[in-house]
Chains A and B, each alone.
Chain A
Amino acid sequence: MPRPTPLPQRPEASPWPRLARGIASGDAAALGDWYQLEWPAIFRLCFGLIADHAAAEDAAQDAMLRVSDRIDTWNKARPYLAWRTTVVLNLTRDHLRRHKTRQYHELRRQPTSTLSSVPDPADAAARGELQEAVESVLANLPEREREAFVLCDLEELSTEHAAAMQIKPASVRSILSLARRRLRGLLPAFVPESSLEGGA
C-alpha cells in the first residue's frame, strides 16, 4: 500500500497579523487570501470535530464567517491558530448541540470488521470508503476525547492551548491518552490491519 500523504504544511504565523488587519479594515484581497489559506484547515478541523462530511461543510462555512467577523478581537499576543481553533471549537459544539449529531452517530454506526477493500488515503477512488471509515472512527470517540485528539494530534496544538476545551492541561493530557488508546482499539474494526501497518 502506498504511504499516506502527509498533512499539508501550515503557513507561517507571520501572515496572520497582516491578514487580520486587512480583513478588519475591509480589504477584499486580504479576505480572499485568508479564505484561501484557512478554508481547508477549518474544514478539516470541523470534519474532525463533527465527524460528518456534509455537516462539517456547513459548520466550516459558519466558522469562516464567524472567525472573519471577530478577527479584530484577536489578541495578537496569543497565537492566531489557538484563538481561531477556540472559535471553531465553540461553534462546532453549538452545532453538535443543535443537530444532536452525537445521538445520530451513536445510533448510526457500530464497529464492524466487514470492510471489503483496503481504504488507501492516497487513492482517490477509495476516498468514499476512506471518508466513511474516518467518520465512523471519529463518531465512535466520545466528544471530549474526539476534541482532544483533533486539537492535539491533528491540529498539533499544545495541551496548554488545547485548554480551549475549558479543562486543565493535565486533564487534556489524560483525555488525549484515553482517546489514543480508544482509537487504537477502534481502527482495526474499521480498517484492515495491513492498512494500518502500511500507514504507520
Chain B
Amino acid sequence: MSSADHDPLDELRRAWKQLDAPANASERPALADALAAATRELTPAAPSTQDPQTQAAVSWMRAAIAATDIPPMPALPLPKRRANPWRVAALAATLAVAGFALARLQNSASTEPEKPIIARAPEPEPEPAPAVAAPPQGRPARVTDAGIEMRAGHVRLLLVHTPTETLNTR
C-alpha cells in the first residue's frame, strides 16, 4: 500500500475495534474521563480556559484597538431612491402621449416641401482645369531661297539647300 493511500485514522479504528468492551459499568466513567481528557487536549482552549498571559494579551489588544483614534465620519452618500411605480407609470404615459402628438404633427406637415434640417454647405467653386499645352499646329513645309522651311509653334526647321559640289570642296 502506498503512503498516499494510508489513512492514519485506520490504525486508530483498528485499535478501537480491538478494545475490549468494559466488563462492568464501573469502567465506563473511567473511559469517558479518558475520552474527555483526550478531547480537551485536541480541542483548542476556549477563551475562558486561556492562560492568564494569553488573556492579558488579548485584553490589552482589545483595549488598545478600542482606544485607537477614529477618523471623522465621512460625508453621507445620497440615499438610493427606489422608483415609485406610480411615478414610473405616469412618466410612461406622458412619454406615450408626447410621442403620439409628435407623430401627428409630422404627418400633418408632410405635404409641405421638405426643408432640409441642416442647411447645405456651399459647394466649392470648381477649380480651373490644369493647363495642358495644345499640340503645336505645324505648317506645311515651304521652299524658300534659303532652303526648305518647316515651322511648328516656336520651332523653325530650315533645311539649307547646299550644292553638292560645294560640299565636296570642303
Which A positions have Cβ atoms within 8 angstroms of B? 3-8, 23-28, 31-32, 35-36, 39-40, 43-44, 47-48, 53, 57, 60-61, 64-65, 68-69, 119, 121-122, 127, 130-131, 133-134, 137, 149, 153-154, 173-174, 176-177, 180-181, 183-184, 187, 191, 195-197, 199-200
CB-defined contacts of B63 to chain A, threshold 8 Å: 3-7, 121, 199
Looking at chain B, what size class is its interface with the partner chain?
Answer: 20 to 34
Which B residues from 27 to 62 make CB contacts under 8 A with A?
43-45, 47, 50, 52-62
Q: Which residue of B44, B57, B62, B76 contacts A173 across the interface (Cβ within 8 Å)?
A: B44
Task: Quote the shortest CB–CB distance from A31 to chain B (angstroms).
Answer: 5
Instruction: Assess A183 versus B61: contact at CB under 8 Å? Given A35-B73, A40-B70, A61-B74.
Output: yes
Which B positions have Cβ atoms within 8 angstroms of A? 43-45, 47, 50, 52-71, 73-74, 76-77, 79-82
A184 to B60, CA, bound (A): 10
Instruction: Assess A31 versus B76: contact at CB under 8 Å? Given A39-B70, A43-B70, A183-B58.
Output: yes
What are 19 residue pairs bridging A and B, where the CB atoms are less than 8 Å apart in the complex? A4-B60, A4-B63, A23-B80, A24-B82, A26-B81, A28-B76, A31-B77, A36-B73, A39-B74, A122-B67, A127-B68, A134-B64, A153-B61, A153-B62, A180-B50, A187-B57, A187-B60, A200-B52, A200-B55
Task: Quote the shortest CB–CB distance from B28 to chain A (angstroms).
Answer: 27
Count A/B pairs, Cβ under 8 Å.
126
CB-defined contacts of B70 to chain A, threshold 8 Å: 39-40, 43-44
User: Are B54 and A31 within 8 A (Cβ)?
Assistant: no
A5 to B63, CA, bound (A): 6
Q: Is the interface of A mostly helix, strand, loop or mixed?
A: helix
CB-defined contacts of A6 to chain B, threshold 8 Å: 63, 66
CB-defined contacts of B79 to chain A, threshold 8 Å: 23, 26-28, 31
CB-defined contacts of B82 to chain A, threshold 8 Å: 24-26
CB-defined contacts of A153 to chain B, threshold 8 Å: 47, 58, 61-62
A191 to B58, CA, bound (A): 13
A5 to B69, CA, bound (A): 13
- Which residue of B47, B57, B71, B77 has the most chain A CB atoms within 10 A of its CB atom? B57
Instruction: Assess A180 versus B54: contact at CB under 8 Å? Given A28-B76, A35-B76.
Output: yes
User: Are B80 and A69 within 8 A (Cβ)?
Assistant: yes
